[in-house]
Structure formats: C-alpha cells, structure tokens
Structure 1
Amino acid sequence: MARIITDACVSCGACAPECPTNAISEGDGKFEIDAAECIDCGACESVCPTGAIEQA
C-alpha cells in the first residue's frame, strides 16, 4: 500500500531526496507520491517535519 501526502504538506521538499524510487514530485501546492512507484518503505514519512505523510 502506497503512502500519501496530506494537505499538511508545506512543500519543504525534505521527503523527495529520501525516496529510493523517486516516487515523490512537486505537485500543485504540495508534494505528491506516485502510488505505482512507491514501495512503502517509510523513508519519506520519517523526515517530514509536519507529519503530512501517512499510509493510504
């Protein structure tokens, strides 16, 4: 199951470089996770300063 980025995202970009599959990209107003690429490793969730990343 992929992770999602909620509206609590402040577009800081801390999550994107942590993703081993490059599934995170900047979207419209917040970052987004490509569910097809996400391997649900949790690396992004642990670095998010606002806790905006959670399991879908």
Structure 2
Amino acid sequence: MCRDCGELGVIEPATDVDHIEPHKGDRKLFWDRKNWQSLCHRCHSRKTAREVFHGGGGSKN
C-alpha cells in the first residue's frame, strides 16, 4: 500500500519503490532497503517533482 496515501486514511496500491532520502547516484544509499518506501505512482511523481523543482528533501517524516 502507498505510505503517503495511508497517512491520509486512503487505501491505494503501491506501484513504485521510492528512496526516502534521494540517493543522487550513491550506490550504497540506492540499494539500502531501509531507505525504501512504497508509494503509488501519483505520490511518487509528486515527491520527485518537489525534490527536483523545489529542492525538497526526502519524505515528510
């Protein structure tokens, strides 16, 4: 299930694996399973756009 949707009480299947902290090419961080979370495509796209266009960090947690 999508972690972000779940925090809002919405049940939505997860389709994407997201890196909580952007790996920025760091292979160790890329493969660190503790840095992964499940998101639906909509939430993943929104988070990625925030990181890329607004300089936002990882998750809101």
* TM more than 0.5: no
User: So what's the TM-score if we normalise by structure 1?
Assistant: 0.26
Query: Which protein has greater RCO, CA pairs closer than 8 Å, 6+ apart?
Result: 1
More strand by share: 1
User: So what's the TM-score if we normalise by structure 2?
Assistant: 0.25
